[in-house]
Structure formats: structure tokens, C-alpha cells
Structure 1
Amino acid sequence: MNNSIRALRAECGWSQAHLADLLQVSRQTVNAIETGRYDPSLPLAFAIAKLFSQPIEAIFTPDQEPA
């Protein structure tokens, strides 16, 4: 799953640690989501979308399958 969390976080001027505090997760979790090593749970994905005032589909997109 691809996501735009890093870009959204940068637009807000937030560190990974600050975003993690807002979401009540670890900084490592934020890093893992940003780098695509971890897909967030649905409640966490909704919390991220709400925090950035974006629809969930604008933040998370499925990986492109090879043609």
C-alpha cells in the first residue's frame, strides 16, 4: 500500500515523533507506515485521515500491479 503521509506530515512541519504522539502510536510505527513496511489498521488509517482532514482514499492507494 502506498501512502502520502510523509508529504502531508512535511506540509504541517511535524516530526515523526509529533505525529506519533498525536496518533498515540510509536515513532517507529509512523516510520514503518511511511516506508510501506506496515499497513495501518483501519481505525488507525481513519485517525490519520481525520488528522490531515483528507479522505482515506487520498492518503492510501493500493500498490500498482505489474502489467
Structure 2
Amino acid sequence: MNTPPDGLPVYRVLTGPDDATFCRRVSEAIALGYELHEGPAVTFNGERVIVAQALIWPTRP
């Protein structure tokens, strides 16, 4: 497949609290065919850890 399914963009950034729900969202994107783009960005908002993970759709000839 040359393009992501369901009209999803080629580049995505998922963000959220560092919890099981966030990990499932990233895992679901990987299962669709996305690849991680570098490592995650992590910050602390004063209450909890917030994570951002960029994902890209692989371009293969």
C-alpha cells in the first residue's frame, strides 16, 4: 500500500499522557504500517509525563 488507509496523513504526531492508552495508540499506528520517526519527546506538565511520538508512512519504490 502506497498511502495510509482511511485517508490518514503520511505524517502523524500522537501526543498524550504516558500511559497504556497512549502506548496502544502508537501500537495501533504501527500495526497499520506506520513507522516510528526518531524517538519520542517527553515533558512534565506539573502533574504527569506527556509524550509525543512522530510516525511516518514508509515510502517504498
Could you say whether these structures have the same fold, taking a TM-score greater than 0.5 normalized by the shorter chain as the test?
Answer: no
Larger-Rg structure:
2
What is the TM-score when the length of structure 1 is the normalising length? Answer: 0.23
Larger strand proportion of the pair: 2
What is the TM-score when the length of structure 2 is the normalising length? Answer: 0.23
Larger helix proportion of the pair: 1
